[in-house]
Amino acid sequence: MANKEKFLSLVSSTNNETQEGICFRKENKAWLRESKNIAFKVLKTLKHQGLSQKDLAEQMGVSPQYVNKLVKGKENFTLETLVKLQSILDTPLLASYYEENSAKEKQHSVQIFSRTTSYQRIEYSEYNSLQKKVIGL
């Protein structure tokens, strides 16, 4: 048997798990990113409050394995789960989308090129289309 034939016998002609995983991550990129952000907030809050994942599981009335899936950031949270987490941890979990977008609106910078200087950086705060406030050069 030639090397090429050996190689072809080892290679699968159908989609494998890796390709399926890549496709899944591409199709679900938005909620996976948000899920990881929420998981990070949960872990950070647990550490700050001195709670374990097992303590959180008991308070939520779920298994520790389920909480482990939540904090790995690979779980598609239900609204019920998010509300339970927010009330138990007393921290906003859904606000990350709005926090990121408000931060983008509040801080903008523009590079201005001229013949005399290479560039100047101007930063804007409270950006909107009607009014721009320059806070630095």
CA distances from 99 to 41, 94, 104 (A): 13, 9, 9
Q: How confident is the model at residue 94 (pLDDT cuts 50, 70, 90)?
A: confident
Could you give all domains of the chain from N- to C-terminal order, each with its CATH number? 16-93 (1.10.260.40), 99-136 (no CATH)
Q: What is the pLDDT of residues 98-120, one digit of tens each?
A: 666 666 555 555 455 555 555 55
Which is nearest to 44 in space by CA: 79, 77, 73, 75?
73
pLDDT at site 116? 56
Q: How confident is the model at residue 73 (pLDDT cuts 50, 70, 90)?
A: confident
Phi, psi of 28 (to 5 degrees): -115, 25
pLDDT at site 107? 55
pLDDT at site 19? 83
In this structure, are residues 96 and 37 in contact, taking their beta carbons and an 8 Å threshold? Answer: yes
